[in-house]
Amino acid sequence: MKVRLGPVERLFPMPCVLVVGGSIDEADVLTAAWVNVVSSTPPTIVMGLRKTRHTLELMTRQGDFTVNVPDTELAAQVDYCGIVSGRTEDKFAATGLTLIPATLVNAPLIKECPYNIECRITQQVEVGEYVVVFGEIVECHADRRVLRKGTTLAEMDELDPLIYCAGVREYRGLGPKLHDAYKIGNRFRKEKLDE
């Protein structure tokens, strides 16, 4: 039995990342759940941000930003960064989050986040009170401890990314691994063809 809910802006689940704009001397950070990859040629992230955000001002002025994936241990700091404005409070002083230089963009990385993405803004598209920022991914970093040995693959149980659940407004982590993608579907297909 389906219930009509009206046009609500929810999808399940959402990531929950810290986006940094500005320079290491004058940076601000915001919390974003409306963000994802959209292309691999070139690797590109999009993000929907309210036009009035202070961090967006810094991002646009400079033409770059970083996306920093926090683990579940950072939930309080991440939530705080989503609640207050960098115009009135120094979020780095309050949270103790540490800025370190990126390699290819001017916007710094957050050291405490185990996965970091450097982006250059390629375009911005207005949607109502929001702007959709397109950022080309130019470099990524991870803490060595979260990487599968000898690869650039992040192990999920080590990365432990924070997850946002819209509507009920919950923070969660990942559950255990259930299946291998690109394998379980092939097995399903073979079983169907054998029927």
**154 lies in the binding site for a copy of itself (CB under 8 A):** yes
> Which of 144, 149, 150, 194 forms a contact with a copy of itself (CB under 8 A)?
144
Q: Does residue 161 bind a copy of itself (CB under 8 A)?
A: yes
How many chain residues touch a copy of itself (CB under 8 A)? 109
Q: CA triplet 43, 62, 38: central angle to 5 degrees? A: 20
Residue 2 interacts with a copy of itself (CB under 8 A): yes or no? yes
Interaction residues for a copy of itself, span 37-66 (CB under 8 A): 37-48
Stretch that binds a copy of itself, among 18-26, 53-61, 177-185 (CB under 8 A): 177-185
CB 123 within 8 A of CB 134: yes
Q: What are phi and psi of 174, to 5 degrees?
A: -80, 145
Element (DSSP H or E) covering residue 191 = helix 184-194
Q: In the window 61-100, what residues touch a copy of itself (CB under 8 A)? A: 67, 69, 72, 75-84, 94, 100
C-beta separation of 70 from 164 below 8 A = no
- Cα-Cα-Cα-Cα dihedral of 164, 169, 173, 175, to 10°? -110
Contact 119, 105 (CB under 8 A): yes
Distance between alpha carbon 14 and the CA centroid of its chain, in Å?
9
Residue 57 vs 79, nearer CB to a copy of itself: 79
Residues 96-135 within binding reach of a copy of itself (CB under 8 A): 100, 103, 109, 111, 115-117, 122-123, 125, 127-130, 132, 134
List, in order, residues 6 or more apart from 91 with CB less than 8 Å away: 28, 29, 80, 81, 84, 97
Among 26, 36, 85, 87, binds a copy of itself (CB under 8 A): 36
146: helix, strand or coil? helix
Among 17, 20, 105, 107, binds a copy of itself (CB under 8 A): 17
Least spacing, CB of residue 19 vs a copy of itself, in Å: 12
Tell me whether residue 24 or residue 174 sits nearer to a copy of itself (CB atom): 174
Minimum CB separation from a copy of itself for residue 155, in Å? Answer: 7
